[in-house]
Amino acid sequence: MLAEHKLKALSELTNGLSKEELIWVNGYFSGLVAENSLQVPDALSSKVNKKLTIAYGTETGNSKKLAVEFAARAKKNGVQAKLVSLDQYRFNDLTKEEYFVTVISTQGEGEPPVGAQKFYDHLHNNGFKVPSMKYAVLALGDTSYPMFCKTGEDVDTQLEKLGAKRFYPLQKCDLDYEAEAGQWFSDLLVHFNTDNKEQTSAPLIFPAPGIKKPAGKKVYTGRVISNINLNAQGSSKTTFHIELQAEGVDYSPGDSIGIIPQNDPLVVAEILSLAQLEGTEVVRFKNEELTLAVLLTEKINIRFLLEKFVFQYAELTGCPLRGRSDLVTLMRNTPIKENEKFISFLLSLHTIAPRIYNIASSIAAHGEEVHIIALKDVFESGNVKQIGQCSAYLEEQQEGDEISFFIQPNKRFRLPEPNKDIIMIGPGTGIAPFRSFVAERDVTGAGGRNWLFFGEEKFTTDFYYQTEWQNLFGTGVLTNISLSFTKDGPTATKFSDKILEQSKGLFEWIDTGAFVYLCGEKEPMGKEVEAALIKVIEDEAGLSSTAAVEYFEKLKQEGRFVKDVY
C-alpha cells in the first residue's frame, strides 16, 4: 500500500491520461520492476490460458528475427507462446490452433519465401476449415515492388475464407520495419489479453525508457570512387558499374544493397517556385522536423504518384485528373494556391522507396567497398519517355559524391563450403552476385569448381567484365564459362538454350553435388531457365517428366538450387 502523499502524487500524474498513455506508464513501471529484479506478485502475473503460436516465413531472416523477438516478449507477459518456422510447420496443427500469428515476407513478384511455399499452397489448395482459430498477420515487403506484401495479404484473406477469425488487423511493413512492427505487436498483446476472457488483469511489459531497443538498419555513407558504363557504343542499354568506398561496411557475398534515391534538385526548385514557397519552411514528417526543401528532396516520392494521390490533388484544385502523374506536371497545369493545403498534401505522400541491388563485390577481395551494377531503366508513360528514379539518380553521381545506403542480408543466397562445386546462372545484371562469389572464392583459395553462365544481347557491346572473366578462366578460378548473346547471328535466341546445349556436363556437375544459383529477371528468363534445368535432368537421368520435377524439387529442399529473381 502506498503512503497517502505518494498515492496523491500518482493520482495527479495519471489523471486525464489517455488509454495509450496509461499503457505506456504501465510498461514503464513494469520495466522498472524488471530492472530491479523484483518479482511480480502472483495476483498480477497470472498466466494466459490461451496458447499463441507465432509462425514465420522468411527469405532473408527478417521475419524470423521479428518472430523470435515477439515470442520472447509474449512469454515475458505470461503468454504461452510457441515459435515455429513455416517450413517445419505441421499442417495437421492448423485445426488445433487457438491464436495464430504469422510473420511472413513477400519475394519478387508477390511470391512467398521458399521455406513458406508449401504452407502457402496448403492454405490455398486443400479446402479444409479452421473455425476455432483466431489469427493475425504481419506482412513484410518492399514498396519498390508492385506486389508489396502480397503474400501476407493472401495468407490473411485465405485464413478468413477457411473460417478463421481475424483477432487483430493485418499490418504491412516496408524495409524499415522495426518500429512499426514492434508497435503492432505491442498493441496486439493488449488486444490478446482483452480478447482472452480467462485472463486475469496482468501488466504488460514493454521496454521502459532508458532500456535500449533493438537498432534498425545501419545506414552507411559511401563515397563514389568509380561510375562507368559497362556497355560499349552501339548497345541498346546503359548499365552502370558503381564503386562505393564505405568505412566499416559489413556484408557477405550474396547480400544486397538498399539505396534511397533523392529527387532532382531542379525539379524540387520548380515545385517550390510554382507553390511560391521558399523551401525553408519547417514541417513535421514522421516525427521529424525538417525544411520543405529537405522533405521534397530526400523524403517523399514526387514522381509517378499513385492514382489515389492524383485524385486527392484533383479534389483540392477542382480540376478533373486521372491516371498517374508527376507532382511537378500536376502543378504546372494547376497549382494548389493555398500553402496550408499544399503542405498538407505533401505530408500525405509516400516516402521514397529504397531500390535494392545485388552486391557485385567481396570484402575479402575489395576491402571496404561495395560494387553494384545498375541498368538504366527507360520506359514510356503517357507516350513520354521516362527514366527510373534511382537509375537517373545513380547516373548523375560522380567521383567524390556521397550516397547513403544499407545492407540487406540474404542468408539463403550464400556460398556453400569451399570444396563444393557451384553453377552460377546470371544473364544481364544477374551476374552481380556471381562476381562477388568468384572474387571471394579466388582470394580465399576455395577448392570447389566454378561454372558461370552469362548472357546478354551482343558480345561486342554487352559482355560485362569481359577481361575479368577471361583472366579468371585463364588462371583456373573459373572452370567453365558458357556465354549466350541473344542478338548475335541472323535470328534471336533464348538464354535458356545455352543450358540445354550444355546438358550432359551440367547434369554431371549437379548429380555429383554441385550447387546451382540463378539470378536475374523472373519473367521470362527465370522460368525458362528452370524449365531447361528440369529438361536436362529428364534427358540425362532418363527420368519421366514427373520424376524430373521431383528431382528438381529435392534440389531446392536441400538448398542446392537457390534463386534471386526480380
State the greatest distance between any 2 C-alpha atoms of the chain, in Å, as a whole number.
95
Distance of alpha carbon 186 from alpha carbon 70, whole angstroms: 9
Domain ranges of the chain: 47-195, 219-261+354-408, 265-348, 422-565
pLDDT of residue 438: 98
pLDDT mean over 546-559: 95
pLDDT of residue 14: 59
Residue 303 is classified by DSSP as S
Phi, then psi, of 219 in degrees rounded to 5: -100, 125
pLDDT mean over 187-215: 54
C-alpha cell of residue 376: 538504366
Q: Which of 79-88, 98-107, 209-218, 259-268 has the lowest mean pLDDT?
A: 209-218
pLDDT band at 59 (very low <50, low <70, confident <90, very high): confident
Indicate the average pLDDT of the chain: 86
pLDDT band at 9 (very low <50, low <70, confident <90, very high): low
Topology (CATH level 3) of domain 219-261+354-408: Elongation Factor Tu (Ef-tu); domain 3 (2.40.30)
Number of other CB atoms surrounding residue 136 within 10 Å? 24
CB–CB of 256/393 below 8 Å?
no
DSSP readout, 509-527?
HHHTT-EEEEEE-IIIIIH
Distance of alpha carbon 403 from alpha carbon 392, whole angstroms: 14
Q: Give 372's strand partners.
A: 242, 359
pLDDT cut 90: percent of the chain above it: 61
Distance of alpha carbon 159 from alpha carbon 134, whole angstroms: 9
Distance of alpha carbon 97 from alpha carbon 134, whole angstroms: 8
pLDDT of residue 199: 38
pLDDT band at 323 (very low <50, low <70, confident <90, very high): confident
Phi, then psi, of 227 in degrees rounded to 5: -150, 100
3-class DSSP assignment, residue 539 = helix
Number of other CB atoms surrounding residue 271 within 10 Å? 25
Measured CA to CA in angstroms, residue 127 lies from 55, 158, 217 at distances of 21, 10, 40
pLDDT of residue 388: 85
pLDDT at 2 over 60: no
Close Cβ partners of 493 (under 8 Å, ≥ 6 residues apart): 484, 486
Residue type, 476: G
Q: Give 302's strand partners.
A: none
pLDDT tens by residue, 34-46:
334 333 333 333 4
pLDDT band at 217 (very low <50, low <70, confident <90, very high): confident
pLDDT at 27 over 90: no
pLDDT mean over 458-482: 96
CB–CB of 509/533 below 8 Å?
no
CATH top class, domain 422-565: alpha beta
Q: Please tell me the total number of residues recorded for the chain in this structure.
A: 566
Distance of alpha carbon 566 from alpha carbon 559, whole angstroms: 19
Distance of alpha carbon 525 from alpha carbon 424, whole angstroms: 14
pLDDT band at 208 (very low <50, low <70, confident <90, very high): very low
Long-range contacts of 322-330 (CB under 8 A, 24+ apart): 323/382, 324/381, 326/267, 326/302, 327/271, 327/302, 327/303, 328/267, 328/270, 328/271, 328/274, 328/302, 330/305
Residue 396 is classified by DSSP as T
Is 164 exposed, middle or buried (CB count within 10 Å of its CB: 0-12, 13-18, 19+)?
buried
pLDDT tens by residue, 494-503:
999 999 999 9
CB–CB of 382/459 below 8 Å?
no
pLDDT mean over 242-260: 95
Q: Give 265-348's CATH code, choosing from 1.20.990, 2.40.128, 3.40.30, 1.20.1740.
A: 1.20.990
Residue type, 222: G
Distance of alpha carbon 414 from alpha carbon 420, whole angstroms: 12
Q: Which of 321-335, 350-364, 416-430 has the lowest mean pLDDT?
A: 321-335
Q: Give 283's strand partners.
A: 290
- Give kind and range of the element (H or E) at residue 75: helix 62-76
Angle between helices 432-444 and 466-474 (to 10 degrees): 30
In what side-by-side order are the strands of the sheet with 355-358?
Answer: 355-358, 256-259, 402-408, 219-229, 239-245, 369-375
pLDDT tens by residue, 78-123:
888 999 999 899 998 999 999 999 999 998 667 898 889 899 999 9
The phi-psi region of residue 379 (left if phi > 0; otherwise alpha if psi is between -120 and 50; otherwise beta) is beta
CB–CB of 10/2 below 8 Å?
yes
pLDDT mean over 356-371: 96
pLDDT of residue 107: 81
Alpha helix stretches (DSSP H) within 350-465: 363-366, 389-395, 432-444, 459-462
Check if 219-261+354-408 and 265-348 are the same fold: no
CA angle (191, 197, 200) in 5-degree steps: 90
CB–CB of 173/181 below 8 Å?
yes
pLDDT at 24 over 60: no
Alpha helix stretches (DSSP H) within 409-495: 432-444, 459-462, 466-474
pLDDT tens by residue, 330-351:
999 888 889 999 999 999 998 8
pLDDT mean over 270-276: 94
C-alpha cell of residue 390: 534511382
pLDDT mean over 527-531: 96
Query: What is the Cα gyration radius of the chain?
Result: 27
CATH number for the domain formed by residue range(s) 47-195: 3.40.50.360
